[in-house]
Copies of this chain bind each other. A is one copy, B any other.
Amino acid sequence: MSYNYRADLSYPVSDAEESAVNRPIVYWDDIVEGDLREGGAHAFDADAIKRFAREFDPRPTHLDETAADASFFKGLAASGAHTFAVWARLYWELTPGWATQAGTHMRDMRLFRPVRPGDVLKLRLTVLSKRPHPLRGEFGFVETKHELFNQAGQPVFHVECTLMIERRPVRG
């Protein structure tokens, strides 16, 4: 079984997605402990913050400038779930071709400060360690640290995540 990155992608793709379709597969075996990479530039605007909040976290601080001004956040701020979703997007962008199967366990997730309209987030990803799957030879685990920073370099989000990643197939 191989994770088919060249699957029938019968939907329009962005430039980032287009390059994803054509990228080589990076297996567990190829991932290096200590690897540190930074990238991404996800911009938040008020419309996107409100649209996400209406569907998933309909609180005044995420929906309405006037109510948000009077709240703890003192201004419109993205839902933490929105920031989490953007983390998933930036992780995907920053690991082209990684044969990631799942994030199975996340530890010490912190939201340090609000994400505002106009903020642009980038991700710093550190590979902490790796180990084979104890039972399934076709997979391995990678322990990773993820940090989001805003355009002022301030930390916004932190999580440590166990990733299950496909191993390079053995040629029979």
Chain A 60-81 per-residue mask, 1 if CB under 8 angstroms from chain B, else 0: 1001101100111100000111
Given known A57-B89, A89-B55, contact A71–B9 (CB-CB < 8 A): no
Residue count of chain A within 8 Å CB distance of chain B: 55
Expressed in whole angstroms, the Cα–Cα distance for A5 and B60 within the complex equals 7
CB distance from A164 to the nearest CB of B (A): 8
Q: Which residues of B have CB within 8 Å of A107?
A: 107-109
* Interface residues in A69-102 (C-beta closer than 8 Å to B): 70-73, 79-82, 84-89, 92, 100-102
Whether B56 and A3, one on each chain, are in contact in the complex, defined by CB atoms closer than 8 angstroms, is no
User: A8: CB under 8 A from chain B?
Assistant: yes
- Complex CA–CA separation, A70 to B5 (angstroms): 11
Q: Which residue of chain B has the shortest Cβ distance to A103 in the bound complex?
A: B80
Interface residues of A (CB under 8 A from B): 1-5, 7-11, 17, 20, 50, 52, 54-60, 63-64, 66-67, 70-73, 79-82, 84-89, 92, 100-111, 139, 164, 166
| A to B CB contacts below 8 Å, 9 in the list | A4-B70, A4-B71, A11-B50, A11-B64, A17-B58, A55-B85, A56-B85, A72-B139, A81-B81
